[in-house]
Amino acid sequence: MSKNGRRTTESFFRNVERYFDKAAAFLNYDTGLLNQIKACNSVYQMRFPVVVEDKKTGKQSVQVIEAYRVQHSQHKVPCKGGIRYSIDVNQDEVMALAALMTYKCAIVDVPFGGAKGGVKIDKKQYSDETIERITRRYTTELIKKNFIGAAIDVPAPDYGTGEREMSWIVDTYLAFHPNDINAYGCVTGKPISQGGVRGRKEATGRGVYFGTREACSIAEDMRPLGLSTGIEGKRFAVQGLGNVGYYSAKFFVEAGALLVGVAEIDCAIINPKGLDLEHVMQWKQEHGGLLQYPYGKVIKNPQAVLEVDCDILIPAALENQITEENAPRIKAKIIAEGANGPCTPAAEEILLKKNVMIIPDMYLNAGGVTVSYFEWLKNLSHVRFGRMEKRFTENTNLLFVREIERLTGQHIGSNERKLLLEGADEEDLVNSGLEDTMITAYHAIRDTMKRNKKIKDLRTAAFVLAIDKVASSYTTLGIWP
C-alpha cells in the first residue's frame, strides 16, 4: 500500500510468479510442466443481484455483487482455500492467493490443490441479514457451477469471514444436497455444532507461533542475527489484530515475548516498554478503534508499526505491505509473515541484503489449512478426534500411576496425577498435529536451503520444496507425460 493506505497497482499474482520463477531455476523440470503448475486451472468470475439494506437507513435496493472463485491446481483433490470479503477483492488477488494455497498445502503435506474465493463488498456497509443473503447467493452460484463439495472444492474462512459465514455456506449446501452423507465436509472453519473442529479458530495464529519458535530454536541461524535462541524476552510487533494477528500475539506473549507495537486499520500504537494485548483488545471493542488508546504512542499511519524497533515483526494484515519504499527503514531482524504476500519481491531483496530472516507466508500461515484438513477428515470419518481412545488412554495411565505408587510407596500429588492420567481430547490432538506439522515442514524447508548452497533464503527454499512436490504428483500419477 501507499502512504495514504490505498492499494498499490503492483500485481500480486505476478509477484507470486516471480518467486516461482526464481525457485524453478534451481529445479530440472520441463518448462511445460512448470508452466502448468504455475497457471490457474479455473477462474470463475461471477456477478449476481442481491437485495441489500442500507445499514443506517434500512432502505432496501438491488445491488449487483462481484465475486470470484479460483481453482489453481487439481493435482490433488479437493481444492482448498478461504473466502475473503473485502472491497479490495479482485481477480488478480484471488488468483495469487489460490496459487499460494497450492504451494502451502504441498509444503505441509496436506493433500489438497489450491483455491481461493473473494466477494467484493465492504461488510461495514451492510446489515447482518444482507451479508447472509450475499453469502447464501454466493454459495448457490458455486453449487451451480460445481465449484464446491467435499470431493471438489472446500472453502474456509479468510479476511472478513468466520464461523458465521461458514455455517451459512454449509446450510445452503445441505439444502441443495440433502442426501449427501459427506455434506458437512463441503467447507471448514464451521462452528463446533455444525461439524467444526476444536482449535480451528486459533490455528493460523498458533501455526505462526510454532513456526517462528522453531526458527528461533536454532542457534546457528540466530547467531548471525545477533539473537539468542527461544521466544522469551524477544520484542515483537504485530500489524493487524484480526484472528491471525491476535492469536499470534497471544501465543508470543504467553511464551514470554514483549509486545512493543500493534496496528489496526485506524492507527499504530508503539510502546517500547510493552503493551498489554488483552487491554488493547478490550479497548478496541469498547471504543470501536484504537485512536485514543492512552498507554502508548498513537500514530495515525497504521504502517508505522512496520518500522518499529523490534526483534520480530509479524505482518498479519493484507498483501503488499512491505515494499521497496519502506523496506530500508525496517528494523526487525525476523519477519514472520502471518498474512499472505505482505512482502513484495523488491522489498525482499532489500531486506535480505540487510540480513533480515524472512519466514515466508506460504509456510508460516499454513496452520489454518492444516487444521482445516483435520476438520475435513473429521467430517468424512463422522467421528470426533479422541472419542475412541481418550478413556482407554486414561485407564491405562491410571494403572501405570498406581503401579509406580505401589513400587515406590509414595503417593503422586494431585496436580501431577491429573496431568499423568489425562487422555488427549480433540483440541489436544489437533494442536499436537499442528505442532508436529509446523516443525517437520520448517526443517524440510531449511534442509532444502542447506542442501543447495546457492539458495540463500527460506522463501526460495519453500518454493523449491513445493514445486518439487507438485511436479512429483503430476509425473508419478501419470498426469504429465
Angle at which helix 203-216 crosses helix 243-254, to 10 degrees, equals: 50
Task: Say how far residue 245 (Cα) sits from the centre of its chain.
Answer: 10
Please count the other Cβ atoms lying within 10 Å of the Cβ belonging to residue 448: 21
CA proximity to 117, closest of 205, 167, 196, 43: 43
- 205-258 residue pLDDT tens: 999 999 999 999 999 999 999 999 999 999 999 999 999 999 999 999 999 999
Report whether 75 contacts 472 (CB < 8 A): no
- 58-77 residue pLDDT tens: 788 999 999 999 999 999 99
Phi, psi angles (nearest 5°) of residue 31: -60, -40
Cis peptide before 78 (omega within 30 of 0): yes
Residue 478 pLDDT grade (very low, low, confident, very high; cuts 50, 70, 90): low
Whether 354 is a known active-site residue: answer no
Residue 401 pLDDT grade (very low, low, confident, very high; cuts 50, 70, 90): confident
Phi, psi angles (nearest 5°) of residue 437: -60, -45
Angle at which helix 91-107 crosses helix 12-24, to 10 degrees, equals: 40
- 161-207 residue pLDDT tens: 999 999 999 999 999 999 999 999 999 999 999 999 999 999 999 99
Report whether 107 contacts 463 (CB < 8 A): no
And the C-alpha cell for 196? 467444526
Structure confidence at residue 480 (pLDDT): 63
Amino acid identity at 325: E
Catalytic residue among 80, 104, 116, 333: 116
Structure confidence at residue 128 (pLDDT): 92
Phi, psi angles (nearest 5°) of residue 54: -65, 125
Comparing 38-47, 113-122, 127-136, 385-394, the range with the smallest average pLDDT is: 385-394
For 333-377, the DSSP string reads SEEE--SSS-B-HHHHHHHHHTT-EEE-HHHHTTHHHHHHHHHHH
Please count the other Cβ atoms lying within 10 Å of the Cβ belonging to residue 26: 16
- The C-alpha angle 244, 249, 252, rounded to 5 degrees, equals 125
Please give the mean pLDDT across all residues of the chain: 92
Q: Cα(132)–Cα(169) distance, rounded to whole angstroms? A: 9
How far is CA 310 from each of CA 235, 241, 334, 422, rounded to the nearest angstrom? Answer: 5, 18, 9, 39
Q: Cα(199)–Cα(353) distance, rounded to whole angstroms? A: 38
Angle at which helix 367-381 crosses helix 203-216, to 10 degrees, equals: 130
- pLDDT > 50? residue 5: no
Residue 2 pLDDT grade (very low, low, confident, very high; cuts 50, 70, 90): very low
Write the DSSP symbol of residue 180: -
